[in-house]
Amino acid sequence: MEQTLHQIDFAIVILSVALAVAVGIYFSRRQKSTENYFAGGGKIPAWAIGMSIFATLISSVTFLAYPGAAYAGNWILLVQGLMVPIVLVGMIWIIVPLFRRVIRLSTYEYFERRFGLFARIYSSAAFVLTHFSKMGTVFYLVALAVSPFLGVDIQMVIVVLGVAIILLTLLGGMEGVIWMDVIQGFLLIGGGVVCALILLFRPEGGPMSVIGPAIASGKIGFGPYDWSLTQLTFIVMVFNGIFYAIQKYGTDQTIVQRYLAAKNDKAAKRAAYIGVFMSVPVWMLFMLVGTGLFAYYQTTGGPALPEGIKADAVFPYFMMTELPVGILGLVLAALIAAAISSLDSDMNCLAAIGVEDYYVRFKPKSTDRQRLRLARILVVLSGAAAIGVALIYARWGGEGVLGVVFELYAIFSAGIVGLFLLGLLSRRANKQGLYVGIAAAVLFTAYAMLTSTQFDFGDGQGSRRLLDLGSWNYKHNKYLLGVYSHIILFGVGYAASFLFKTPPADEGLTIYGFFNKQKQETNQQ
């Protein structure tokens, strides 16, 4: 694509980035304590927190990947998102008051109180690894998409965008992050709606010329529906979505930290529901954009695509060639907004984990001022490190250097949902049993990764498995790898707990304590 961005569009993009810095500056005067810096003083309205949850869930990866996936296939990846509200309705009314009662700031304090220090270190380290890796990926992908429009080198886009997000998070704290997410959320919705309307109404015949053929050809569907666990099927995505929902809303600091920013339990629950029930329609919206792109270029007589263009590049190509002046700038601003709303949350939460899970443990007598100063240092360091990761991507491209990092994370962060459910659902489970469960989950994940990952050793023999066990190789879809590790940790950890005699867990840390409290309150009325 050649750079054709109009000055108006360019100005809109620059203003959207400058707005992030301005919001950080505006809220900076309120950031005088760690309570304000990490939780907004617990005074932020539920609707704003819900909008922030929504904006955090809709990253620039979603903005680009969902249309590409729908263009190339159907809506099967949306199944994961559709499981979220189903699971959330069953658990959010329990976990929100549990976390707000049990923890001060870090999600992983719950794991320590339930199973000891190792559980806290294991789970918090998993969060740090996965979100650090994700941050570099998001920086790279959004810069890769935006730089051709701006006519600016991709490395320059990474650095400028990174500095703006660091300043927003550094100065504004969680309050600045949440209110900026509110603005970014409306940009996200607006950008998606504009593109969908253009794709639906531009072809002759209107929406039915797009929707009808798409349904007939299976482009708007969630299949294949067979029970195969080796291919990407509906049932695979259902299982994956169930555990994704529990992991995101029960163990992810970026979400749990927002529960703490609400005024009370009722407001926190409302925020969680707002975030989820806004996310699902927007995920569907971007799937519809992908389907519209397929119809526009393949079935309604639209212009021909460049030869050899990949599915993920079709949406950016459409934006560059078909969107009018002003609209293109707004959509690009929405794409950048998706990155900002995800990355600012990660930086603030990584700082919270560094302070609460590590610094306070080694320096329990540190003052709040010292903790706040370290938090700001960690925001800068995490942002700079993510920029560095993205620059590595830009220099060498592809997974390459960081492929090993992602695989190591998959191995050593295995079973976090299993850990959470074991603590929540079982009074009998103990830390000794948990250690056995973690070992089993890590070993299984290592086996699955080593026997299913293809690698070119550079010896002229082509790609082959890192460990080839023949018929014993892991053959199921990789989306199930995490599902299995969660189940293994839970099952093995529960069974192994019977080998060790320990007192039952504090009921206040399990679901039984929650129900007993509800029963007592009912009897008192």
Question: 525 pLDDT exceeds 80?
Answer: no
CA 514 to chain centre: 28
Tally the residues of the chain: 525
* 5: phi then psi, degrees, rounded to nearest 5: -65, 125
pLDDT for the residue numbered 4:
62
pLDDT in tens, 422-437: 999 999 999 999 999 9
DSSP state at residue 507 = G
Cβ-based neighbours of 306, under 8 Å, separated by 6 or more: 317
Query: Hey, is 440 helix, strand or coil?
Result: helix
Positive or negative, the CA dihedral 120, 342, 99, 480 is: negative
CA distance linking residue 512 with residue 171, whole number of Å: 42
CA 488 to chain centre: 23
Cβ-based neighbours of 166, under 8 Å, separated by 6 or more: 347, 379, 380, 383, 384
Give residue 105's identity as a one-letter amino acid code. Answer: L
pTM: 0.89
Question: 524 pLDDT exceeds 80?
Answer: no
pLDDT in tens, 214-271: 888 888 989 899 999 999 899 999 999 999 899 888 899 999 999 999 999 999 999 9
Which domains are present in the chain?
Answer: 7-413 (1.20.1730.10), 414-517 (no CATH)
Query: Hey, is 214 helix, strand or coil?
Result: helix
CA distance linking residue 298 with residue 203, whole number of Å: 11
CA distance linking residue 340 with residue 344, whole number of Å: 6
CA distance linking residue 267 with residue 273, whole number of Å: 10
Query: Hey, is 317 helix, strand or coil?
Result: helix
CA distance linking residue 107 with residue 254, whole number of Å: 9
* 218: phi then psi, degrees, rounded to nearest 5: 80, 15
What does the angle CA 290 – CA 312 – CA 346 come to, to the nearest 5 degrees?
95
| Distances from the Cα of 21 to the Cα of 27, 52, 173, 184, 457, angstroms | 10, 17, 12, 13, 45
Give residue 374's identity as a one-letter amino acid code. Answer: L
Give residue 455's identity as a one-letter amino acid code. Answer: F
CA distance linking residue 243 with residue 250, whole number of Å: 10
Q: What is the DSSP string of 104-152?
A: SS-TTHHHHHHH-HHHHHHHHHHHHHHHHHHHHHHHHHHHHHHHHHHT-
CA distance linking residue 264 with residue 268, whole number of Å: 6
* 153: phi then psi, degrees, rounded to nearest 5: -55, 140
Is 408 buried (19+), middle (13-18) or exposed (0-12) by CB count in 10 A? middle
**What count of Cα atoms within 13 Å lies in the side-chain half-sphere of residue 335?**
30
Question: 463 pLDDT exceeds 80?
Answer: no
CA distance linking residue 10 with residue 287, whole number of Å: 27
CA distance linking residue 86 with residue 76, whole number of Å: 17
Strand partners, 455: 464
Question: 304 pLDDT exceeds 60?
Answer: yes
pLDDT for the residue numbered 171:
94
pLDDT for the residue numbered 215:
85
H-type alpha helices, 262-326: 265-294, 311-322
pLDDT for the residue numbered 403:
47
- The least confident of 135-139, 264-268, 406-410 is 406-410
pLDDT in tens, 77-131: 899 889 989 888 888 888 898 899 889 889 999 999 999 999 999 999 888 888 8
